[in-house]
Amino acid sequence: MISFSTNPENVTDLPAFNDFQLAVQGVLEGHSDEQELGKVYQQLDSVLGQALFYFCDQVHFQPASDHLEAQSQLVYRHIDGVRDEAELACKACLIADEAEANLHLDAARQELIQLTTLFAAMKKEEEAQPRFSPLPWIHELCRVAVAYRQGQLSEEHLAERLETSRQLHQRAALSIPQVPSLIHDRQRWRELITSMEASLAGIGEGLQAVDAFLDTADGDTLDAGLELCMGGAEKLMEDYATIKRLEEEQPGLQCPLCSKENPLGTQRCGHCSAPLPRLSDMEEAMGQGEVSWPSHVQSLVQSLEGLQGGSRQPGVVLGEVQQMRERFERGIQDFKKMKIPEGLEQAEEARERLLQGSQAAIGSLEQMAQAIKDEQWDFVNTALQQFLQQVDGLLEALPQ
């Protein structure tokens, strides 16, 4: 659902509308001309388009319902209402009809109030009825696909995201059947694993459909594939929630080696010292941690996507790249200051890997910044992929 924090400058205060009102007043008073008014109106229209995009991005893959349909129609109506009234205000001020211009400005303002009130109500509904989230890598695939359909991202972005999703799907398909039982009822456990495997099979069919879309450009094929992916992900999360509930309801955790019972939360069996299965094992098998780069790294990725989609300015993104570089430079200084007691060779080796990885990440950021300045987007993407691989390596090298 629309979150004000997603794009606060466009959804909450909407300064673009305030600028539009000032431009209309300026034309009426002779301080502005038609060309300036047209630019401000286009900016307002662009902001409203972004608000509609954020809305569609959030609700496109929700199950259809009469309530969602009614809400969607209201969103479209109010956005069109702001646009229509603003256009009429433009026409009125150009013929110096102040009363008519103010009348349409007031009407546009009321439509905007209704729109933001509707977004607030939808956000409140979502918070009151939390749902299990789909797998992060499936949600990210769908987000990129929607952005591609909206012209915000390229086909290359979608192809790269699909390849990552395929790798994670393959890992999940191989790992989930091997996760030791987390509940005493072995028959129920087998039923749940079988159900999860069926969900993964559905996701696999969906990924094949997305791949077919890249060859055929058939929009129906893409929609069908994404629906299969989302449906499989939702069912997979339902089964995971069932496993979590059953584990919490049982008195203890049974050791898969000696069958002795241990208190919940224990990492090793108190009788034979064998490692005990944990919910985190299941989460890892499903790829729950895939979109788990630190928030500042994920923010940079989204900004770079926005830059190439036209919704972010180069100067702003270059500033974020510089901030990221400074963050890594501070990290290098911190690693160098670490005092490691003698004899801990593994810790010393880990620090060396962190230092080398951080320096390599800085190099990729420098390449990225230069490519942005030169508008060489292929080099930007190459530098980004190198940077993300280096971040993954750093996360692996960090002490657990």
The 10s digit of each residue's pLDDT in 131-150 is 556 677 888 888 788 778 77
Element (H, E) at 156: helix 155-175
Q: What pLDDT, in 10s, does the model give residues 284-325?
A: 778 765 445 566 676 777 778 777 766 677 887 888 888 888
Q: Taking 80 as the threshold, does the pLDDT of residue 334 lie above it?
A: no
Q: Taking 60 as the threshold, does the pLDDT of residue 93 lie above it?
A: yes
For the chain, what is the mean pLDDT? 80
Q: Taking 50 as the threshold, does the pLDDT of residue 2 lie above it?
A: no
Confidence (pLDDT) at 129: 60
Q: Taking 60 as the threshold, does the pLDDT of residue 210 lie above it?
A: yes
Average pLDDT over residues 370-395: 82
Q: Taking 80 as the threshold, does the pLDDT of residue 63 lie above it?
A: no
Q: Taking 50 as the threshold, does the pLDDT of residue 352 lie above it?
A: yes
Q: How far is CA 156 from CA 92, 214, 222, 229, 269, in A?
A: 45, 10, 15, 20, 48
Confidence (pLDDT) at 7: 40
Report domain extents, the chain: 4-128, 136-263+275-286, 295-397
Of residues 56 and 237, more confidence is placed in 237
Of residues 284 and 14, more confidence is placed in 284
139's CB contacts (< 8 A; 6+ apart) are 133, 233, 291
What token pair was written down for 156? 């290359």
User: Exposed, middle or buried by CB within 10 Å (0-12, 13-18, 19+), for 349?
Assistant: exposed
Average pLDDT over residues 213-227: 89
Confidence (pLDDT) at 195: 94
Q: Using CA atoms, how far apart are residues 146 and 40, in angstroms rounded to an integer?
A: 28
- The full DSSP string for 174-217 is HHGGGSPPSSS-HHHHHHHHHHHHHHHHHHHHHHHHHHHHHHH-
Q: Using CA atoms, how far apart are residues 226 and 221, in angstroms rounded to an integer?
A: 9
Instruction: Answer for the pair 212, 309: CB distance below 8 angstroms, yes or no.
Output: no
- What SS3 class is residue 254? strand
Neighbours of 242 (CB within 10 A): 15
Confidence (pLDDT) at 205: 94
Among the ranges given (22-26, 77-81, 366-370), the one the predictor scored with the smallest mean pLDDT: 22-26
- The full DSSP string for 257-292 is TT--EE-TT-SB-TTT-PBPP-HHHHHHHHTTTTT-
Q: What pLDDT, in 10s, does the model give residues 161-199?
A: 888 888 888 888 888 888 888 888 889 999 999 999 999
Give 208's pLDDT tier (boundaries 50, 70, 90): very high
C-alpha of 41 from chain center = 30
Instruction: Answer for the pair 246, 235: CB distance below 8 angstroms, yes or no.
Output: no
The share of the chain scoring above pLDDT 90, in percent, equals: 10
Q: What pLDDT, in 10s, does the model give residues 240-280?
A: 889 988 888 888 887 877 778 888 777 788 877 777 888 87
Confidence (pLDDT) at 211: 93
Q: Using CA atoms, how far apart are residues 324 and 384, in angstroms rounded to an integer?
A: 12
Q: Using CA atoms, how far apart are residues 177 and 98, in angstroms rounded to an integer?
A: 71
Instruction: Answer for the pair 114, 91: CB distance below 8 angstroms, yes or no.
Output: no
Query: pTM to 2 decimals?
Result: 0.51
Q: How far is CA 164 from CA 137, 159, 310, in A?
A: 8, 9, 24
Q: Taking 60 as the threshold, does the pLDDT of residue 130 lie above it?
A: no
Strand partners, 254: 261
Hey, which CATH number is domain 295-397, 1.20.58, 1.10.890, 1.10.3470, 1.10.150?
1.20.58
Instruction: Answer for the pair 219, 196: CB distance below 8 angstroms, yes or no.
Output: no
Instruction: Answer for the pair 118, 71: CB distance below 8 angstroms, yes or no.
Output: yes
Q: Using CA atoms, how far apart are residues 127 and 135, in angstroms rounded to an integer?
A: 19
Q: How far is CA 192 from CA 200, 247, 391, in A?
A: 12, 13, 35
Confidence (pLDDT) at 10: 40
Element (H, E) at 341: none
Give 60's pLDDT tier (boundaries 50, 70, 90): low
What token pair was written down for 170? 């393959």
52's CB contacts (< 8 A; 6+ apart) are 75, 76, 79
Angle at 292 between CA 289 and CA 297, to 5 degrees: 165
Residue 242, CB half-sphere, CA atoms under 13 Å: how many? 15
Instruction: Answer for the pair 171, 184: CB distance below 8 angstroms, yes or no.
Output: no
